[in-house]
Structure 1
Amino acid sequence: FVSAWVGSIAYGLSMFVGPVTGLTMKRFGHKFAMVLGGFLCSISLCASSFVQGIDQLFFTFSFIYGVGACMSITPTMTLGQDYFDKYLGVSVGIMTSGSSIGTLIMAPTTQTLIDALGWRNTFRVYAGTCLLTSILNLFIRPITNRKKTQSDELRTSPLRRLIAELALWKNRVFIVWTTGITLVMFGYYIPYVHLVSFAVDQGATVEQGSIIIMVFGASTATGRLLFGKIVQLGLLNRLHMHQLSMILSGSATMFLPLISSYDGLLVFIIFFGLVDGCFVVLLPLMTCSLVRTDKVALAWSFLICSSSITFTLGPPVAGFMYDALGSYNLPFHFAGVPVILGALVLFLIPW
């Protein structure tokens, strides 16, 4: 139980400290934040390889890695608009598919490294890869070198900057958007966390559970590339596409307990992965569309900070329900409701 919280806190912090990353990007640029993030992740993994007790991991991994991951990942979700216009959808699809491809290769790679080198040296290997990403980020070329004006000088006051950035919460469209997505996140990732356990309850083996994860990685990568291209064509309403992806995901999750065969689970995860591709690609693209260009980085940061609370709470709540009831029927029915409600909230956005 305690070990599970080490990873959960790190993942939660990677979203919760979004506003800090947003302010860092606004003050120093995307490149600085990404380089710093990779460096922090590298330090975290290296330090974690020397710990003597799990309690030390709450600082070396949960805190440092969580902050570093936020610094590394958050800028990538808004950086594309600075470099792409016509091909923005495709660029986001390619970028987001990276994490899906990682899902395919990380589990077997990590297990192989642990078997060969032990967990401490595996941490050190990954510390090196994080440092490599930090070095690669040094090659990001700024579009323009913006000169500092007198008004910029005035905004260097921390209080003035804070007041200016919080004004984003006066934007009613942004409030509706954030409310809807925050609600969606309460149930959206419950199947991610509990699907393998559900499959084992249905009679699947641990090896088959691993196959489910790999199939999901392949299907969501395909979905992200596919819908990145579809969005670029501009033939469909982006907001309605996004809402439809949420409604389909929520509905599929609610019907998941009706599946009783392994083949049925594979069909579900392929469908869910493709729809997830649409949801993930449109999340940053819609955020870019709903706020001014100079507010995008901070808007995304506030969005993931707000969502981190429900994102972190959802899977444990479903887990507690499973422990109490001994079945995933009610947890999965429950998971689909906030996803569908969040999609309906977005009808309040004029589009």
Structure 2
Amino acid sequence: MALPPSCPPLAEVTLTIQSTLAHRSIFRGWFVVAGAFAVTLVGFGCAYTFSAFLKPLQLEFGASRGSVSLVFSLAGFLYFGLGIISGPLADRFGSRVLAVIGMLLTGLGLFAAGFARSLAEVYLAYGLGVGVGVGCAYVPAIGAVQRWFVRRRGFASGLAVSGIGVGTLAMPPLATLLIEMLGWRGAYLALGLLAAAIGGVLALLIENDPRDRGLGPDGDQALATGSSRAAGASIAEAVRSRNFIALYVACLICAFGVFVPFVHLVPYASDHGVTPTTAVLLLGVIGIGSTAGRFLLGGLADRMGRTSALLLMFAGMAVTLAIWAISINVWALAAFAFVYGAFYGGWVAVLPAVVMDYFGGRNVSGIIGILYTSVAFGTLIGPSAAGFAYDLMHSYTVPILISATANVVAALIVAAVLAPGGRATVGAARR
């Protein structure tokens, strides 16, 4: 039977249906975000349980607070510092394999920590295992997300790293429960199995580049006209630029203080009469704030300018750390934990997007990896130095105020050097 003259041609109808279905399907980039979310949740969630283990490890090995804190500092140094290796490897060979290997190594390190017979063995098992594992997975996972988005890059990056916030919320209370049920050794065994099983499987969702599936960023192009990997600055061009140097120095100085609360907030609260069970919940409050910051501030950065947002994060962390120094009851500490978590989460969400803005996608994982070595050095020194300062002065006031000052200096560097519009010339002409 012939179609009425008013009907559109069959080919046109078919194209319309196909276009509608494609429009309604879920963009593959969001699955990449989900995989990165799982990696950050499991990896950093397990890492940030360390505060719950600090006092049990002190009692088990008769160690000072500073020497036990060095376990976390070593792990932090490695999981940020190894991005300089894992990032370029991901740019060349793909992000998925590194993310899967990283999650398996994280699980193995936690499992091995449960069998440690000395603090030195904890350094090797937890410090090296978790440090190398998260270091293999984190930068490749976050770098992959940057290539899949342009307009919503800040929001997507925020979603991906919000796993850190959710992990900080969920994992420390879980670790405390496991310690009460199984002891600290059994808790590490259980966390190791969880990290390898859940993290290793969900990391398979990560993919390196939308062009590998014939897609463009944001899912609004059927075919990309140019590879996102081919656009942007070389690593040599990036690291020699004034903007990269400013970012590196700002993050280095900031990192001396930014992770101090993750190690010392629980013992600080305990020193001020908060029960251990309640004290560990403060890490969960940081996680709530961090998750909110990554969702809200990551999206806000897309509208206000991501460099301006980065300046706001440094300034916000500085103010809230200063407030911590005078907070002594559980409600004041909870308020600090939430607001600090929000600005910290915003910092983690915005920083990779800023790197992509300035230097393009061709070597984004490698450039992020090199930048994160600044955070590695700060993390290696900051939390352990705060612990040794406490051992010497029996007070956290001085290390907390130094941490706040470090973020003020980082904010001043960003304000003085980086363009407020969030764009720079290095690699921009190639994008």
Asked whether the two chains share a fold, i.e. TM above 0.5, the reply is: yes
Matches within 5 A, 1:301-316: 301-316=369-384
Following superposition, the deviation at residue 117 of structure 1 comes to: 4.5
Matched-pair contact (CA < 8 Å) for 1:23–1:298:
yes
1:137 to 189, 194, 203: 203
For the residues of structure 2 that align with 1:191 and 1:117, how far apart are their CA atoms?
Answer: 26
Task: Tell me the TM-score normalised to structure 1 length.
Answer: 0.84
Are residues 285 and 316 of structure 1, via their aligned partners in 2, closer, same or farther at CA, if it must alter by over 3 Å?
Answer: same
Structure with the higher helix share, 1 or 2: 1
Following superposition, the deviation at residue 52 of structure 1 comes to: 4.6
**Partner in structure 2 of residue 56 of structure 1:** 121
1:350 to 415, 419, 422: 419
Query: What per-residue deviation string (whole Å, max 9, x for no partner) do you get for residues 203-256 of structure 1?
Result: 333233123222222122112111123234x2x132122112211221222243
Matched-pair contact (CA < 8 Å) for 2:173–2:281:
no
**Partner in structure 2 of residue 29 of structure 1:** 94
Following superposition, the deviation at residue 308 of structure 1 comes to: 0.9
Query: What per-residue deviation string (whole Å, max 9, x for no partner) do you get for residues 73-98 of structure 1?
Result: 12222221222233322222222221
Are residues 245 and 165 of structure 1, via their aligned partners in 2, closer, same or farther at CA, if it must alter by over 3 Å?
Answer: closer
2:392 to 318, 324, 337: 324
Residue 172, structure 1, aligned to residue 215, structure 2? no
Unaligned runs of 5+ in 1: 147-163
Matched-pair contact (CA < 8 Å) for 2:69–2:387:
no
RMSD: 2.5
For the residues of structure 1 that align with 2:108 and 2:269, how far apart are their CA atoms?
Answer: 37
Higher radius of gyration, 1 or 2: 2
Matched-pair contact (CA < 8 Å) for 2:106–2:134:
yes
For the residues of structure 2 that align with 1:12 and 1:330, how far apart are their CA atoms?
Answer: 23
Are residues 209 and 302 of structure 1, via their aligned partners in 2, closer, same or farther at CA, if it must alter by over 3 Å?
Answer: same
Unaligned runs of 5+ in 2: 1-62, 214-233, 421-431
Matched-pair contact (CA < 8 Å) for 1:49–1:124:
yes
Matched-pair contact (CA < 8 Å) for 1:254–1:334:
no
Percent identity for Structure 1 against Structure 2? 25
**Partner in structure 1 of residue 319 of structure 2:** 251
**Partner in structure 1 of residue 103 of structure 2:** 38
- 1:175 corresponds to which letter in structure 2? I
Are residues 45 and 270 of structure 1, via their aligned partners in 2, closer, same or farther at CA, if it must alter by over 3 Å?
Answer: closer
For the residues of structure 2 that align with 1:10 and 1:139, how far apart are their CA atoms?
Answer: 25
Task: Tell me the TM-score normalised to structure 2 length.
Answer: 0.70
For the residues of structure 1 that align with 2:332 and 2:380, how far apart are their CA atoms?
Answer: 28
**Partner in structure 1 of residue 283 of structure 2:** 213
**Partner in structure 2 of residue 203 of structure 1:** 273
Deviation larger for 314-323 or 45-54: 45-54
**Partner in structure 1 of residue 45 of structure 2:** none
Matches within 5 A, 1:16-165: 16-117=81-182, 119-132=184-197, 133-142=199-208, 143-145=210-212, 165=235
Query: What per-residue deviation string (whole Å, max 9, x for no partner) do you get for residues 288-315 of structure 1?
Result: 1121321211111011112211222112
Are residues 126 and 253 of structure 1, via their aligned partners in 2, closer, same or farther at CA, if it must alter by over 3 Å?
Answer: closer
Matched-pair contact (CA < 8 Å) for 1:255–1:333:
no
For the residues of structure 2 that align with 1:258 and 1:4, how far apart are their CA atoms?
Answer: 23
- 1:307 corresponds to which letter in structure 2? V
Deviation larger for 71-80 or 204-213: 204-213
For the residues of structure 2 that align with 1:260 and 1:343, how far apart are their CA atoms?
Answer: 27
